[in-house]
Amino acid sequence: MAQFCRDGRSGVTAGSVTDTLGRPLRDLRISVTDRCNFRCVYCMPKEVFGRDYQFLEREQLLTFEEIERLTRIFTAHGVEKIRVTGGEPLLRRNLERLIGMLARIPGLDLTLTTNGSLLAKQAQALKDAGLQRITVSLDSLDNDVFTAMNDVDFPVDRVLAGIEAAAAAGLAPIKINMLVKRGVNERSVVPMARAFRGTGRILRFIEYMDVGHTNGWRMDDVVPAAEIIARINTEMPLEPVEPSYRGEVATRWRYRDGSGEVGVIASVTQAFCRDCTRARLSAEGSLYTCLFATKGHDLRGLLRGGASDAEIAGAIAAVWRVRDDRYSEIRSSETVGLPKVEMSYIGG
Protein backbone atom coordinates (compact mmCIF):
# COMPACT_ATOMS: atom_id res chain seq x y z
CA MET A 1 0.00 0.00 0.00
CA ALA A 2 1.33 3.44 -0.86
CA GLN A 3 2.15 5.99 1.83
CA PHE A 4 0.49 9.29 0.87
CA CYS A 5 1.39 12.88 1.66
CA ARG A 6 1.12 16.37 0.23
CA ASP A 7 3.94 16.82 -2.29
CA GLY A 8 5.04 20.35 -3.07
CA ARG A 9 6.56 19.45 -6.41
CA SER A 10 3.30 18.41 -8.01
CA GLY A 11 0.61 19.97 -5.85
CA VAL A 12 -1.21 16.64 -5.54
CA THR A 13 -1.64 14.26 -2.66
CA ALA A 14 0.39 11.23 -3.60
CA GLY A 15 3.28 9.10 -2.39
CA SER A 16 5.53 6.16 -3.10
CA VAL A 17 3.78 3.15 -4.57
CA THR A 18 4.94 -0.44 -5.05
CA ASP A 19 3.71 -3.24 -7.30
CA THR A 20 2.75 -6.81 -6.42
CA LEU A 21 6.43 -7.81 -6.29
CA GLY A 22 7.42 -4.90 -4.05
CA ARG A 23 9.06 -2.88 -6.83
CA PRO A 24 8.75 0.91 -6.45
CA LEU A 25 8.04 3.35 -9.27
CA ARG A 26 11.30 5.28 -9.76
CA ASP A 27 11.97 5.70 -13.50
CA LEU A 28 9.80 7.10 -16.28
CA ARG A 29 10.64 6.85 -19.97
CA ILE A 30 8.75 9.39 -22.04
CA SER A 31 8.34 8.89 -25.78
CA VAL A 32 7.78 12.21 -27.56
CA THR A 33 7.25 10.77 -31.06
CA ASP A 34 6.67 7.42 -32.73
CA ARG A 35 8.60 8.55 -35.82
CA CYS A 36 12.22 7.80 -36.65
CA ASN A 37 14.50 8.69 -39.56
CA PHE A 38 16.26 5.31 -39.36
CA ARG A 39 14.81 1.93 -40.33
CA CYS A 40 16.97 -0.27 -38.15
CA VAL A 41 16.42 -3.91 -38.97
CA TYR A 42 15.87 -4.87 -35.32
CA CYS A 43 13.42 -2.07 -34.53
CA MET A 44 11.61 -0.43 -37.46
CA PRO A 45 12.22 -2.62 -40.53
CA LYS A 46 11.29 -1.07 -43.88
CA GLU A 47 9.05 -4.02 -44.68
CA VAL A 48 6.67 -2.81 -41.98
CA PHE A 49 7.49 0.87 -41.51
CA GLY A 50 7.43 1.83 -45.17
CA ARG A 51 6.26 4.95 -46.97
CA ASP A 52 2.61 4.12 -46.36
CA TYR A 53 2.94 3.41 -42.64
CA GLN A 54 0.46 5.47 -40.61
CA PHE A 55 2.22 7.25 -37.78
CA LEU A 56 0.41 9.25 -35.11
CA GLU A 57 -1.11 12.56 -36.16
CA ARG A 58 0.14 15.69 -34.40
CA GLU A 59 -3.08 16.18 -32.42
CA GLN A 60 -2.74 12.65 -31.05
CA LEU A 61 0.61 13.42 -29.45
CA LEU A 62 0.80 14.68 -25.91
CA THR A 63 1.60 18.38 -25.85
CA PHE A 64 4.66 19.57 -23.93
CA GLU A 65 2.35 21.00 -21.29
CA GLU A 66 0.60 17.63 -20.90
CA ILE A 67 3.94 15.84 -20.62
CA GLU A 68 5.13 18.28 -17.96
CA ARG A 69 1.91 17.88 -15.98
CA LEU A 70 2.12 14.10 -16.05
CA THR A 71 5.79 14.20 -15.11
CA ARG A 72 5.03 16.27 -12.02
CA ILE A 73 2.33 13.80 -11.04
CA PHE A 74 4.74 10.88 -11.52
CA THR A 75 7.38 12.58 -9.36
CA ALA A 76 4.83 12.74 -6.55
CA HIS A 77 4.76 8.92 -6.74
CA GLY A 78 8.52 8.73 -6.29
CA VAL A 79 9.84 8.98 -9.87
CA GLU A 80 13.37 10.37 -9.77
CA LYS A 81 14.68 9.71 -13.28
CA ILE A 82 13.22 10.83 -16.59
CA ARG A 83 14.49 9.54 -19.93
CA VAL A 84 13.15 11.25 -23.05
CA THR A 85 12.90 8.82 -25.97
CA GLY A 86 11.05 8.15 -29.22
CA GLY A 87 11.04 6.96 -31.98
CA GLU A 88 13.79 9.45 -32.51
CA PRO A 89 13.12 12.24 -30.00
CA LEU A 90 15.15 14.89 -31.83
CA LEU A 91 12.57 14.76 -34.63
CA ARG A 92 10.06 16.41 -32.27
CA ARG A 93 10.03 20.14 -33.04
CA ASN A 94 11.31 22.51 -30.37
CA LEU A 95 12.25 19.64 -28.09
CA GLU A 96 14.55 21.92 -26.13
CA ARG A 97 11.45 23.73 -24.85
CA LEU A 98 10.16 20.50 -23.29
CA ILE A 99 13.61 19.81 -21.84
CA GLY A 100 13.54 23.24 -20.22
CA MET A 101 10.12 22.58 -18.74
CA LEU A 102 11.16 19.23 -17.30
CA ALA A 103 14.49 20.59 -16.05
CA ARG A 104 12.63 22.99 -13.77
CA ILE A 105 11.04 20.09 -11.85
CA PRO A 106 13.11 19.72 -8.65
CA GLY A 107 15.13 16.61 -7.96
CA LEU A 108 14.98 14.93 -11.37
CA ASP A 109 17.77 13.14 -13.21
CA LEU A 110 16.98 14.16 -16.78
CA THR A 111 18.47 12.33 -19.74
CA LEU A 112 17.69 11.49 -23.38
CA THR A 113 18.33 8.64 -25.81
CA THR A 114 18.92 9.40 -29.50
CA ASN A 115 20.27 7.79 -32.66
CA GLY A 116 22.61 10.78 -32.90
CA SER A 117 21.69 11.76 -36.44
CA LEU A 118 20.53 15.28 -35.48
CA LEU A 119 22.63 15.66 -32.37
CA ALA A 120 25.40 17.82 -33.83
CA LYS A 121 22.89 20.61 -34.49
CA GLN A 122 20.92 20.29 -31.27
CA ALA A 123 23.39 19.30 -28.53
CA GLN A 124 24.15 22.81 -27.28
CA ALA A 125 20.49 23.88 -27.22
CA LEU A 126 19.58 20.75 -25.26
CA LYS A 127 22.34 21.38 -22.73
CA ASP A 128 21.39 25.04 -22.40
CA ALA A 129 17.78 23.98 -21.75
CA GLY A 130 18.83 21.79 -18.85
CA LEU A 131 19.52 18.31 -20.25
CA GLN A 132 22.07 16.62 -18.01
CA ARG A 133 23.17 13.47 -19.82
CA ILE A 134 22.66 11.73 -23.13
CA THR A 135 22.74 8.21 -24.56
CA VAL A 136 23.53 7.62 -28.23
CA SER A 137 22.67 4.42 -30.09
CA LEU A 138 25.59 3.29 -32.26
CA ASP A 139 25.72 -0.29 -33.53
CA SER A 140 29.08 -0.31 -35.29
CA LEU A 141 32.01 1.88 -36.29
CA ASP A 142 32.25 0.02 -39.58
CA ASN A 143 30.33 2.24 -41.99
CA ASP A 144 29.17 -0.66 -44.16
CA VAL A 145 27.78 -2.51 -41.15
CA PHE A 146 26.28 0.65 -39.67
CA THR A 147 24.50 1.75 -42.84
CA ALA A 148 23.19 -1.78 -43.42
CA MET A 149 21.72 -1.79 -39.92
CA ASN A 150 20.10 1.66 -40.08
CA ASP A 151 18.95 0.80 -43.63
CA VAL A 152 18.83 4.43 -44.79
CA ASP A 153 22.53 4.76 -45.70
CA PHE A 154 23.18 7.19 -42.85
CA PRO A 155 26.97 7.42 -42.36
CA VAL A 156 28.57 6.62 -39.05
CA ASP A 157 30.77 9.73 -39.16
CA ARG A 158 27.73 11.97 -38.68
CA VAL A 159 26.73 10.12 -35.52
CA LEU A 160 30.30 10.41 -34.24
CA ALA A 161 30.13 14.15 -34.95
CA GLY A 162 26.98 14.30 -32.84
CA ILE A 163 28.77 12.56 -29.98
CA GLU A 164 31.61 15.07 -30.16
CA ALA A 165 29.11 17.95 -30.19
CA ALA A 166 27.44 16.54 -27.08
CA ALA A 167 30.80 16.32 -25.33
CA ALA A 168 31.67 19.88 -26.34
CA ALA A 169 28.32 21.09 -24.99
CA GLY A 170 29.08 19.55 -21.61
CA LEU A 171 26.61 16.66 -21.65
CA ALA A 172 28.23 14.04 -19.43
CA PRO A 173 28.65 11.25 -19.04
CA ILE A 174 27.86 10.21 -22.58
CA LYS A 175 26.69 6.62 -22.92
CA ILE A 176 26.90 4.66 -26.16
CA ASN A 177 24.43 1.80 -26.70
CA MET A 178 25.28 -0.98 -29.16
CA LEU A 179 22.62 -3.56 -30.04
CA VAL A 180 24.38 -6.82 -30.91
CA LYS A 181 22.80 -9.24 -33.37
CA ARG A 182 24.34 -12.54 -34.41
CA GLY A 183 25.56 -12.62 -38.00
CA VAL A 184 25.16 -8.85 -38.35
CA ASN A 185 27.50 -6.87 -36.12
CA GLU A 186 29.03 -9.09 -33.45
CA ARG A 187 32.45 -8.57 -35.08
CA SER A 188 32.12 -4.90 -34.16
CA VAL A 189 32.08 -5.59 -30.41
CA VAL A 190 35.83 -5.50 -29.82
CA PRO A 191 36.53 -2.56 -32.20
CA MET A 192 33.82 -0.56 -30.42
CA ALA A 193 35.32 -1.38 -27.02
CA ARG A 194 38.77 -0.50 -28.26
CA ALA A 195 37.62 2.83 -29.70
CA PHE A 196 35.76 4.10 -26.63
CA ARG A 197 38.14 2.74 -23.99
CA GLY A 198 39.84 5.60 -22.18
CA THR A 199 37.55 8.28 -23.64
CA GLY A 200 35.30 8.69 -20.61
CA ARG A 201 32.33 7.54 -22.69
CA ILE A 202 30.50 4.52 -21.32
CA LEU A 203 29.86 1.78 -23.87
CA ARG A 204 26.94 -0.57 -23.24
CA PHE A 205 26.11 -3.67 -25.25
CA ILE A 206 22.48 -4.77 -25.57
CA GLU A 207 21.32 -8.31 -26.25
CA TYR A 208 18.94 -8.51 -29.20
CA MET A 209 15.46 -8.58 -27.64
CA ASP A 210 12.07 -9.93 -28.69
CA VAL A 211 10.30 -6.57 -28.45
CA GLY A 212 7.19 -6.16 -30.59
CA HIS A 213 6.36 -8.54 -33.42
CA THR A 214 7.95 -6.99 -36.51
CA ASN A 215 11.68 -7.59 -36.05
CA GLY A 216 11.69 -11.34 -36.72
CA TRP A 217 13.38 -12.15 -33.41
CA ARG A 218 14.94 -15.58 -32.92
CA MET A 219 16.97 -16.84 -29.98
CA ASP A 220 19.66 -17.93 -32.43
CA ASP A 221 20.26 -14.25 -33.27
CA VAL A 222 21.10 -13.35 -29.66
CA VAL A 223 24.75 -12.86 -28.76
CA PRO A 224 24.75 -13.60 -24.99
CA ALA A 225 26.26 -11.13 -22.56
CA ALA A 226 28.80 -13.72 -21.44
CA GLU A 227 30.10 -14.06 -24.99
CA ILE A 228 30.31 -10.29 -25.44
CA ILE A 229 32.35 -9.88 -22.26
CA ALA A 230 34.57 -12.85 -23.17
CA ARG A 231 35.37 -11.32 -26.57
CA ILE A 232 36.48 -8.06 -24.96
CA ASN A 233 38.27 -9.71 -22.04
CA THR A 234 40.52 -11.68 -24.39
CA GLU A 235 42.18 -8.45 -25.55
CA MET A 236 41.35 -6.00 -22.76
CA PRO A 237 41.05 -7.72 -19.36
CA LEU A 238 37.90 -6.89 -17.39
CA GLU A 239 36.63 -7.27 -13.84
CA PRO A 240 33.05 -6.98 -12.55
CA VAL A 241 31.72 -3.84 -10.87
CA GLU A 242 28.99 -3.76 -8.25
CA PRO A 243 25.69 -2.11 -9.28
CA SER A 244 25.51 1.56 -8.31
CA TYR A 245 21.79 1.38 -7.43
CA ARG A 246 18.89 -1.06 -7.20
CA GLY A 247 17.37 -1.73 -10.59
CA GLU A 248 20.43 -0.75 -12.62
CA VAL A 249 19.83 -2.15 -16.07
CA ALA A 250 23.39 -2.77 -17.18
CA THR A 251 25.77 -5.28 -15.62
CA ARG A 252 28.98 -3.27 -15.32
CA TRP A 253 32.58 -4.28 -15.99
CA ARG A 254 35.73 -2.18 -15.74
CA TYR A 255 39.07 -2.51 -17.47
CA ARG A 256 41.67 -3.85 -15.06
CA ASP A 257 44.09 -1.11 -16.09
CA GLY A 258 41.64 1.59 -14.97
CA SER A 259 40.92 2.89 -18.47
CA GLY A 260 37.14 2.90 -18.13
CA GLU A 261 34.19 0.54 -18.08
CA VAL A 262 31.61 -1.21 -20.25
CA GLY A 263 28.17 -2.54 -19.48
CA VAL A 264 25.91 -5.26 -20.85
CA ILE A 265 22.12 -5.13 -20.88
CA ALA A 266 21.22 -8.81 -20.82
CA SER A 267 17.45 -8.94 -20.63
CA VAL A 268 17.39 -12.23 -22.55
CA THR A 269 20.02 -14.34 -20.79
CA GLN A 270 20.21 -12.59 -17.40
CA ALA A 271 16.74 -11.19 -16.71
CA PHE A 272 16.60 -8.28 -14.27
CA CYS A 273 12.81 -8.07 -13.90
CA ARG A 274 12.90 -8.53 -10.12
CA ASP A 275 14.41 -5.05 -9.71
CA CYS A 276 12.63 -3.23 -12.54
CA THR A 277 11.34 0.19 -11.42
CA ARG A 278 10.51 1.58 -14.89
CA ALA A 279 7.28 2.81 -16.40
CA ARG A 280 6.87 4.01 -19.97
CA LEU A 281 4.71 6.78 -21.38
CA SER A 282 3.98 6.51 -25.12
CA ALA A 283 3.85 9.54 -27.39
CA GLU A 284 0.04 9.68 -27.30
CA GLY A 285 -0.20 9.24 -23.57
CA SER A 286 -0.55 5.53 -22.80
CA LEU A 287 1.14 4.17 -19.68
CA TYR A 288 3.01 0.89 -20.12
CA THR A 289 4.40 -1.04 -17.16
CA CYS A 290 6.81 -3.23 -19.15
CA LEU A 291 8.92 -2.99 -22.30
CA PHE A 292 7.24 -6.23 -23.40
CA ALA A 293 3.70 -5.07 -22.55
CA THR A 294 0.72 -6.18 -24.60
CA LYS A 295 -1.46 -3.19 -23.70
CA GLY A 296 -1.28 0.30 -22.25
CA HIS A 297 -3.42 2.45 -19.97
CA ASP A 298 -4.84 5.69 -21.37
CA LEU A 299 -3.72 8.81 -19.50
CA ARG A 300 -4.37 11.26 -22.34
CA GLY A 301 -8.10 10.65 -22.00
CA LEU A 302 -7.90 11.67 -18.35
CA LEU A 303 -5.84 14.76 -19.16
CA ARG A 304 -8.18 15.96 -21.88
CA GLY A 305 -11.32 14.82 -20.09
CA GLY A 306 -10.88 17.24 -17.21
CA ALA A 307 -9.50 14.89 -14.56
CA SER A 308 -7.75 16.53 -11.62
CA ASP A 309 -4.11 15.86 -10.77
CA ALA A 310 -5.25 13.82 -7.79
CA GLU A 311 -7.50 11.67 -9.99
CA ILE A 312 -4.69 11.05 -12.48
CA ALA A 313 -2.30 10.25 -9.62
CA GLY A 314 -4.84 7.75 -8.32
CA ALA A 315 -5.15 6.12 -11.73
CA ILE A 316 -1.36 5.75 -12.04
CA ALA A 317 -1.13 4.26 -8.56
CA ALA A 318 -3.94 1.82 -9.31
CA VAL A 319 -2.11 0.57 -12.41
CA TRP A 320 1.23 0.23 -10.65
CA ARG A 321 -0.14 -1.55 -7.57
CA VAL A 322 -1.40 -4.49 -9.63
CA ARG A 323 1.71 -4.65 -11.84
CA ASP A 324 3.17 -8.16 -11.97
CA ASP A 325 5.28 -7.93 -15.14
CA ARG A 326 8.35 -10.15 -15.34
CA TYR A 327 8.38 -11.10 -19.00
CA SER A 328 12.11 -11.73 -19.32
CA GLU A 329 12.09 -14.13 -16.37
CA ILE A 330 9.25 -16.23 -17.75
CA ARG A 331 10.10 -15.96 -21.47
CA SER A 332 8.98 -19.09 -23.32
CA SER A 333 7.70 -20.14 -26.73
CA GLU A 334 4.25 -19.07 -25.57
CA THR A 335 5.21 -15.58 -24.36
CA VAL A 336 7.45 -14.83 -27.34
CA GLY A 337 4.42 -15.03 -29.63
CA LEU A 338 2.31 -12.53 -27.68
CA PRO A 339 1.24 -9.36 -29.59
CA LYS A 340 3.61 -6.99 -27.76
CA VAL A 341 3.79 -3.24 -28.36
CA GLU A 342 6.60 -2.13 -30.70
CA MET A 343 9.79 -0.80 -29.09
CA SER A 344 9.74 2.18 -31.47
CA TYR A 345 6.40 3.17 -29.95
CA ILE A 346 7.45 3.26 -26.29
CA GLY A 347 11.11 4.07 -26.57
CA GLY A 348 12.92 0.94 -25.43
The full set of domain ranges for the chain reads: 3-346
At 302, which helix (H) or strand (E)?
A: helix 300-304
CB 85 within 8 A of CB 113: yes
Half-sphere exposure of 332 (CA within 13 A, CB side): 3
pTM to 2 decimal places: 0.90
> Residues 232-242: what's their mean pLDDT?
97
At 168, which helix (H) or strand (E)?
A: helix 156-169
Q: State the DSSP string of 217-280.
A: --GGGB--HHHHHHHHHHHS-EEEE--SSTT-SSEEEEETTSS-EEEEE-TTTS--GGG--EEE
Fold of the domain built from segment(s) 3-346: TIM Barrel (3.20.20)
Confidence of residue 295 (pLDDT cuts 50, 70, 90): confident
CA distances (Å), origin 231, targets 4, 19, 94, 235: 49, 38, 42, 7
- What is the model's pLDDT at position 283? 95
Phi-psi region of 312 (alpha: psi -120 to 50; beta: other; left: phi over 0): alpha
CA distances (Å), origin 258, targets 197, 200, 232, 262: 10, 11, 15, 12
Residue 3 clears pLDDT 90, i.e. is over it = no
Residue 314 clears pLDDT 60, i.e. is over it = yes
Q: Which of 248, 238, 292 is nearest to 268 (CA)?
A: 292
> Residues 60-64: what's their mean pLDDT?
98
Q: For residue range 181-227, what is the model confidence (pLDDT) as tens digits?
A: 999 999 999 999 999 999 999 999 999 876 655 555 578 889 999 99
Confidence of residue 329 (pLDDT cuts 50, 70, 90): low
Mean pLDDT of the chain: 89
Phi and psi, residue 176, nearest 5° = -115, 120
DSSP 84: E
Confidence of residue 332 (pLDDT cuts 50, 70, 90): low
Residue 236 clears pLDDT 60, i.e. is over it = yes
